[in-house]
Structure formats: C-alpha cells, structure tokens
Amino acid sequence: MDPPASPNLQTSTPNGNINLGPSANPNARPTDFDFLKVIGKGNYGKVLLAKRKSDGKFYAVKVLQKKSILKKKEQNHIMAERNVLLKNVTHPFLVGLRYSFQTSEKLYFVLDYVNGGELFFHLQREHCFLEPRARFYAAEVASAIGYLHSLNIIYRDLKPENILLDCQGHVVLTDFGLCKEGMEPEETTSTFCGTPEYLAPEVLRKQPYDRTVDWWCLGAVLYEMLCGLPPFYSRDVSEMYENILHKPLQIQGGKTVAACDLLHGLLHKDQKKRLGAKADFLEIKNHVFFSPINWDDLYHKRLTPPFNPNVVGPADLRHFDPEFTKEAISSSIGHTPDLTASSCGASSAFLGFSYAPGDENF
C-alpha cells in the first residue's frame, strides 16, 4: 500500500509561485529507518524498501553517493530531480517526495512506495499487451507528461523501466533525474541525454529539441507495449540509431487503424509535424485511439486498471526483480556518519537538497 499523501506539502505564495518549504531537515537521519530490501538500482545509488521506525510506514528510499555525483558533475541534475519531485505530489500518476535529507556522504530521497512492479518487468514476462491495456497505461502516462509540460518541465527519459504500477495497477512515473525545468512551450534545449532505444531523431542529430521529445518517447513505449520491442530496435546500437534517423516506421499486422495512426503521429521523425507539436497534451488526448477513455474518470482513478498486481501488502515483492531483492544491504546505508568528517565541497554542492514538509514530525 502507498503511504497517504502528506497534506500541505506545497503552499502557494501570494504571487502564485510554489513555496517548496524549508530547505533544512536536520531532524531526519538514516537511523530513522529499517532498510529491508534493495528494490532498484541507478547510476549513483540504490532504491530500498524502508520502514520508518516511528510509525511503521513503508517508503521507497533512494540513496545516492555524493562522491559519484560530483565525479560526473551531475549535481545540477540531482537538484532538478528534487525540485520536480516536490511538484509531483499533487498528480495521481507521478511519484511524490515525502522528504529528503543528507549526510556527509549520501543523499536520501524518501518517496512514495509502490510495489506493483515496473512496466518493463511485466512486459518482459508477457511480451506485449492487448490494445485496451496498452491504451490505459499510455493514457495515464500521457496525463502525467501533460502535467509536467504544464509546469514547463520536459521529462526526457520515458521508458518502461521508469513506469511503475501501484498496488491497484495504476501507473506511477518515477526517476526525474533527466528532467529539464523552465521549458516554455516554444523553448528548446540541446543536451544529449536519454536512453538509446527511446531517443528522438532530433536528439540523436544533436539539434535543438523541445517538449515533443516526450511524445516521441510515449510513441516508442506504446509501440513496445503493442509489439514487444521498441520501434527501431537493433542489438547493434549504431544500426539502431540509423533506423531511428532514417528507417520508416513498420507496424506488425493485427493493430487497429487508430493505434497505427497514433503511432505514426507520435513517431514522426520531424518534431514540427509530430503529434503534440501544436497543442501538446490536448492533441494526444483528442486522438481517436483514446476515444474510449473518459479523461476526468482516468485522472480521479475511477477507471478500473486492466491488470491487478494482487499484492498482499508492502512486504510483497513478487513484482521486483530478484536480482535486486536478493542483494545484501550495505550497513553504511543506515549509518549516520560523524558530521565533523564532512567534506566541505560535498556539502556546498548540495545546498538546499534537504526538505521537510512543515506538518510532519520526525
């Protein structure tokens, strides 16, 4: 089960901006938790299932090594991830940050815990989905991406590994490390980032790109849900890049006209002609493929998910890869180091990382 949302996590200032609350969180520390299992891994650390000792609530705690982040000069991405996570709490299909804190060596994101498994895990097991199931997931993901775009954030790393299911089977989008903030509708950026199978042609060409990269990725994920592999996949990465840039989209038989039309629209190699280029989420929402979806019911989770993960409680880890859950947990994760040993450089690089909602007691 997911922990209940903390009320008043965000408040608005008189000018309408989001007040992200106090940046210091001196009261939270690693020893507040029992770290139970590794449930995921990333470039700079791990995600662990943790139970807070004070009230027995379960959280997913993402633990990152400061040293690794500084070595790769990625501190700006980590701070952007923190900022985006704080804005997510109000949306039903985005994972929310409950609080964050740091030690001299590590950063800790305390996140909503969801245990229905990665979409990637379910796709691997079932190979592909029927259209109604793929439509449901694509609609919830599109709703989440549309919300991020409304905040002038582009996501840039949509893939099945970053789409989780909660205990009822609803989508929860996670991992905001590649998000770009401050992206007005007409604005472009040019950082080369993402995951090879899902890169849009303009990113590969190292051309300026806009928020339509997220709609390309939605097309790639939808294609994979329906066909079993990403649209231009090859084991040879350079061949795959050539396919993304030049090969026409080919769709297996048996797909509806609406599904084919949506895929061609989302996976248009010219970002200016791509579905979503003119009216963003509204274009996706109004496409005939989504005509069975009542978007208001979808947003309020009044639609029954097509698949129920059937988990029996927070400790049910059947939908997590055993490669993670069998791993031993390092004793340093739950250890609070002596802050006098703190490296000045590491501390100053992550100023403002720690966050505590005003209504929570630690």
The catalytic site residues sit at 157
CA–CA separation, 235 vs 229, rounded Å?
Answer: 11
CA–CA separation, 137 vs 236, rounded Å?
Answer: 29
- For 110, the token pair is 């305390």
Residue 139 near residue 293 (C-beta atoms within 8 A): yes
Residue 236: how many other CB atoms lie within 10 Å: 9
CA–CA separation, 14 vs 108, rounded Å?
Answer: 31
CA–CA separation, 276 vs 284, rounded Å?
Answer: 6
Residue 344: how many other CB atoms lie within 10 Å: 8
Cα-only R_g, the chain: 20
62 among the known binding-site residues?
no
Q: Which of 64, 62, 14, 16 is nearest to 35 (CA)?
A: 62
Bind-site residues for ATP: 71
Bind-site residues: 71
